[in-house]
């Protein structure tokens, strides 16, 4: 069905009125004026005209009236056609009825229908293309997200990697300097990890690393950042945590790891080093990590499966070796 709203009906009626006014002003009124002038001013002068002027003037008036009548007839036919079209449209007649007509209206409506079908087809193609582009855009965003995650995640454990850990550490240090919040770092290293790789294979070693990472996640706060720092070494960032509380956290995690079964090798132990940002000694992210690393070395020298907090006199420990 051809649907026409109130605005289209109003425009159709206005068009009909305009054509009727054109018929009145273009034919009826001029014809009445010509008849009046001829009757009042010209006919009384006919007896005084010569035969030559009379033979020219009368045919001129006749043909002028005939042409005006012909023009009025054409306008009337156009008006009737438009009126029929408006009546059909405003009464919601089916579009097929208009297309089946053999006159100009049928031709126009058939052309309009073909044009509308072409537009609808092109609109459908555009919508399909837009949907494809939207799907491709979503896929690209998903791929970019995965790439970003891969660039910040460790492939073996699924934890964050060293790069992300260093980024977050610098952010927390800036926040600490602004709001005067403490920041601590815990480094932990699996004891005798080389024996697991040599005795059970690197696959078993990877399973142990994954299990340790999940255990650390399960026993840490939500705002803690846990990362595989390299090899069998892990790093934990503890925002708003002083060194004393970080040592308590590390000792609790040490005891949990010693009792848990992590991978094919069973239970494992780990050594922990803890350091915190300070105003006079460890004043940057690099120095905090270095302090935690020195404390970790000291824990290894104590016999492993231990937790050591950073102190200034631990610097000399870097010269001593230890067995991982």
Query: What string of DSSP letters covers 274-317?
Result: EEE--SSS--SHHHHHHHHHHHHHHHHHTTSS-EEE--GGGGGG
Query: Does 316 or 277 have the greater pLDDT score?
Result: 277
HSE of 6, CA atoms in CB hemisphere, 13 A:
0
Question: Which two structure tokens, joined as six digits, stand for 141?
Answer: 């965003």
Q: How does the average pLDDT of the chain come out, rounded?
A: 78
Distances (CA, A) of 309 to 203, 244, 249: 33, 8, 12
The closest alpha carbon to 296, from 324, 277, 268, belongs to 324
The residue to which tokens 């454990």 are assigned: 157
* C-alpha span between 242 and 248 (Å, rounded): 10
CB 26 within 8 A of CB 71: yes
Tell me what the mean pLDDT of segment 92-101 comes to: 53
Enter the pTM of the model: 0.55
- In this structure, which long-range contacts are made by residues 308-312, counting pairs with CB atoms below 8 Å and at least 24 apart in sequence? 308/272, 308/273, 308/274, 309/243, 309/244, 309/246, 309/247, 309/274, 309/275, 310/243, 310/273, 310/274, 310/275, 310/276, 310/282, 312/281
Tokens representing residue 205 in the block: 């070693």
Q: Specify whether the CB–CB gap between 324 and 193 falls below 8 A.
A: yes
pLDDT of residue 283: 85
pLDDT computed for residue 9 by the predictor: 55
Q: Are 234 and 262 in contact (CB under 8 A)?
A: no
In this structure, the number of other CB atoms found within 10 A of the CB of residue 317 comes to 19
Is the distance from CB of 243 to CB of 251 less than 8 angstroms?
no
pLDDT tens track for 137-185 = 777 776 666 656 557 889 899 999 999 999 999 999 999 889 888 999 9
CB 174 within 8 A of CB 189: no
pLDDT at 132: 81
Comparing 28-37, 175-184, 278-287, 303-312, the range with the smallest average pLDDT is 28-37
- Is residue 237's pLDDT more than 70? yes
Long-range own/partner contacts, residues 7-11 (CB < 8 A, 24 or more apart)? 8/89, 9/89, 9/90
Looking only at the bridges linking them, the beta strands covering 233-239 and 183-190 are antiparallel
Res 4: pLDDT: 43
Beta bridge partners of 309: 274
Pairing of strands 307-309, 270-276: parallel
Name the percent of the chain lying above pLDDT 70: 62
């Amino acid at each position: 069905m051809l649907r026409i709203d109130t605005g289209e009906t109003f425009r159709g009626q206005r068009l009909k009125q305009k054509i009727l006014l054109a018929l009145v002003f273009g034919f009826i009124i001029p014809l009445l004026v010509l008849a009046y002038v001829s009757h009042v001013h010209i006919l009384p002068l006919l007896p005084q005209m010569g035969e030559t002027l009379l033979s020219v003037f009368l045919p001129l008036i006749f043909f002028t009236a005939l042409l005006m009548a012909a023009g009025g007839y054409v306008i009337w036919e156009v008006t009737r056609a438009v009126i029929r079209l408006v009546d059909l449209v405003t009464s919601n007649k089916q579009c097929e009825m208009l297309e089946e007509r053999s006159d100009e209206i049928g031709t126009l409506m058939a052309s309009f229908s073909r044009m509308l079908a072409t537009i609808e087809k092109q609109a459908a193609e555009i919508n399909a293309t837009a949907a494809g582009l939207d799907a491709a855009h979503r896929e690209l965003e998903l791929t970019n997200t995965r790439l970003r995650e891969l660039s910040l995640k460790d492939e073996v454990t699924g934890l964050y990697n060293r790069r992300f850990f260093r980024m977050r550490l610098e952010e927390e240090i800036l926040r600490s300097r602004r709001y005067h919040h403490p920041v601590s770092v815990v480094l932990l290293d699996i004891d005798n990890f080389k024996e697991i790789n040599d005795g059970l294979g690197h696959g078993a070693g990877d399973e142990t690393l994954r299990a340790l990472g999940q255990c650390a996640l399960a026993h840490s706060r939500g705002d803690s950042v846990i990362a595989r720092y390299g090899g069998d070494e892990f790093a934990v960032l503890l925002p708003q945590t002083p060194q004393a509380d970080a040592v308590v956290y590390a000792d609790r995690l040490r005891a949990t790891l010693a009792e848990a079964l992590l991978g094919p090798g069973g239970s494992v132990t780990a050594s922990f080093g803890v350091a915190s940002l300070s105003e006079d000694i460890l004043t940057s992210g690099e120095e905090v990590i270095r302090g935690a690393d020195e404390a970790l070395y000291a824990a290894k020298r104590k016999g492993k499966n231990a937790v050591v907090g950073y102190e200034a006199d631990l610097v000399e420990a870097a010269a001593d070796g230890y067995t991982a």
